[in-house]
């Protein structure tokens, strides 16, 4: 089957062919005709199978007919992260170059002014993260009553990030007669409940078993003695496994920063991306990775979903993900578009339960990969090193404690005597001054006598 066989317009086919595609993926071949027929849709597919194009392409043809109005977008695409939203926007620009469609991107971390201006001019496609969309909606800057097409992308990630209440609020503000498309790699019960509530007789498409991983990816688990030797094992793998480009995932943002710094110190061309970075820094770092300025990207799960970076040869799980579903998405950054890839997960003793949950979800045991040699723990910080003690000083202190009291007494007595002698000279002047004051004081006058100064004329005598 070719793209020309699934009902797309000639203008859109021209843009698709210009991108170098002529054959749709299984999810695209099944989803695009249903979307063009204006049906609600639930699509379950593993990451890296072309889900984005399966709703972007038919939306462009649907929106080609109609008129945009100020503050009232005609369609809405919800994405869990800024990077995914920006990536979908890039797809719309590439595939919609032959159509007169306007698009607005509503994401956090950037100024609202340009976003509000774009909404006031009218947009056909609104791509947004739930947080920024709710913020503008509450400020009265956007109306959702004219939105006839809703796409909820990466629905399971929305659940993990706590966006489901916001999505329910957004859905309640949209027209009841809208078309709704829900895309996800997994289908946990809360997502099923959401689909039952807001989708009308949807078509269900599943091109891969939920939570399955790409068979083009060779997956391994690497046992390590402790978490302290993970960096050494990772560097060994980076040097010996023919790594072209790699994404290294960590559970914590602080671990991402520390690991990126450590790799740079050991001569690797590494960068980092995590939630504590502002949007411009995250975009710049991702662009450096895409254009080859760096070939190793240390990242948190903010980069685990949907990012399409071509040519990633390896994925390393420095930390086993806390949520098994995240493993599927992390590993899916390699082996995309029919390419092969390799994925390694470093397993310390404390990761045993997490890797068991991953293997239970994916339905198979990961192959064990043994690293040659016996890496020694890396001392990552000075605080971890045992402090060195001053042996002579310690011995003198112990000897002083063991010394008899009578040997220490003379020194203590001399100290007390010296203190008394220092205070004695200061005490005598105080006593002398009090004595002089008491001697110079006059006796009190008798009652009725004059006690003031005596004028000279009163002392005059007649003699």
Q: What is the pLDDT of residue 381?
A: 41
Q: Which of these three, 330, 349, 381, is where a domain ends?
A: 381
Q: Do 356 and 291 share a structural domain?
A: yes
Q: Do 228 and 133 share a structural domain?
A: no
pLDDT digits (tens, 9 = 90+) for 244-288: 999 999 999 999 999 999 999 999 999 999 878 887 888 889 889
Average pLDDT, the chain: 81
In a domain, 393, yes or no: no
In a domain, 454, yes or no: no
- Cβ atoms of 146 and 71 closer than 8 Å: no
Number of domains in the chain: 2
In a domain, 400, yes or no: no
Query: What is the reported pTM?
Result: 0.61
In a domain, 403, yes or no: no
Q: Do 154 and 65 share a structural domain?
A: yes
Q: What is the pLDDT of residue 409?
A: 47
In a domain, 409, yes or no: no
Q: What is the pLDDT of residue 448?
A: 58
Instruction: Output the DSSP codes for 83-130.
Output: HHHHHHHHHHHHHTTTS---EEEE-TTS-HHHHHHHHHH--SEEEE-H
pLDDT digits (tens, 9 = 90+) for 36-51: 999 999 998 776 678 8
Angle of helix 51-63 versus helix 26-36 axis, rounded to 10: 20
In a domain, 446, yes or no: no
- Cβ atoms of 338 and 119 closer than 8 Å: no
Domain that holds residue 107: 3-206
DSSP 8-state code for residue 15: H
321 by Cβ neighbours in 10 Å (0-12 / 13-18 / 19+) ranks as buried
Could you give the residue ranges of the DSSP H alpha helices within 249-390? 253-265, 279-290, 324-331, 352-362
Q: What is the pLDDT of residue 60?
A: 95
Q: Do 175 and 51 share a structural domain?
A: yes
Q: Do 171 and 49 share a structural domain?
A: yes
First to last CA, the chain: 153
Q: Do 248 and 156 share a structural domain?
A: no
Q: Which residue has the higher pLDDT, 463 or 257?
A: 257
Q: Positive or negative CA dihedral for 126, 130, 132, 134?
A: positive
Report the CATH number that the domain containing residue 11 is assigned in CATH. Answer: 3.40.50.300
pLDDT digits (tens, 9 = 90+) for 155-185: 888 887 788 899 999 999 999 999 999 998 7
In a domain, 439, yes or no: no
Report residue 246: phi and psi, to 5°.
Answer: -145, 145
Q: Which of these three, 331, 355, 381, is where a domain ends?
A: 381
Q: What is the pLDDT of residue 331?
A: 87
CA 326/CA 322 separation, integer angstroms: 8
Q: What is the pLDDT of residue 15?
A: 92
Q: Do 235 and 151 share a structural domain?
A: no
Q: Report helix, strand or coil for 151.
A: strand
In a domain, 442, yes or no: no
């Amino acid at each position: 089957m070719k793209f020309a066989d699934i009902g797309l317009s000639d203008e859109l086919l021209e843009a698709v062919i210009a991108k170098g595609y002529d054959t749709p993926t299984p999810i695209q071949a099944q989803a695009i005709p249903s979307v063009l027929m204006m049906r609600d849709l639930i699509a379950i597919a593993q990451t890296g199978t072309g889900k984005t194009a399966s709703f972007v392409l038919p939306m462009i043809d649907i929106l080609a007919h109609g008129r945009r109005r100020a503050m009232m977008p005609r369609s809405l695409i919800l994405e869990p992260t800024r990077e995914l939203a920006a990536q979908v926007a890039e797809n719309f620009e590439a595939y919609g170059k032959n159509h007169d469609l306007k698009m607005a991107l509503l994401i956090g971390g950037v100024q609202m002014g340009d976003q509000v201006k774009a909404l006031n001019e009218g947009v056909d496609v609104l791509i947004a993260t739930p947080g920024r969309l709710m913020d503008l909606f509450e400020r009265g800057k956007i109306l959702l009553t004219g939105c006839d097409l809703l796409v909820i992308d990466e629905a399971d990630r929305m659940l993990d990030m706590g966006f489901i209440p916001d999505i329910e609020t957004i859905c309640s503000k949209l027209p009841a007669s809208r078309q709704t498309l829900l895309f996800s790699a997994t289908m946990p019960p809360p997502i099923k409940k959401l689909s039952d509530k807001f989708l009308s007789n949807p078509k269900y498409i599943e091109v891969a078993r939920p939570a399955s991983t790409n068979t083009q990816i060779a997956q391994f688990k690497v046992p390590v003695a402790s978490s302290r030797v993970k960096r050494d094992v990772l560097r060994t793998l980076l040097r010996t496994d023919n790594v072209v480009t790699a994404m290294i995932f960590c559970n914590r943002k602080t671990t991402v920063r520390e690991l990126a710094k450590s790799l740079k110190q050991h001569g690797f061309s590494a960068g980092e991306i995590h939630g504590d970075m502002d949007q411009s820094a995250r975009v710049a770092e991702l662009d450096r990775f895409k254009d080859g300025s760096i070939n190793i990207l240390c990242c948190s799960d903010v980069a685990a979903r949907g990012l399409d970076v071509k040519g990633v040869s390896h994925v390393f799980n420095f930390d086993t993900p806390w949520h098994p579903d995240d493993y599927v998405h992390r590993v899916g950054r390699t082996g995309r578009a029919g390419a092969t890839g390799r994925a390694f997960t470093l397993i310390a003793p404390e990761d045993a339960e997490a890797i068991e949950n991953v293997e239970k979800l994916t339905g198979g045991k990961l192959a064990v990969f043994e690293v040659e040699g016996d890496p020694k723990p890396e001392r990552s910080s000075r605080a971890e090193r045992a402090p060195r003690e001053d042996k002579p000083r310690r011995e003198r202190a112990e000897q002083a404690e063991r010394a008899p009291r009578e040997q220490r007494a003379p020194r203590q007595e001399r100290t007390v005597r010296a203190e008394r002698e220092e205070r004695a000279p200061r005490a005598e002047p105080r006593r002398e001054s009090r004595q002089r004051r008491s001697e110079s004081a006059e006796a009190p006058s008798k009652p009725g006598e004059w006690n003031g100064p005596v004028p000279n004329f009163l002392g005059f005598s007649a003699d």
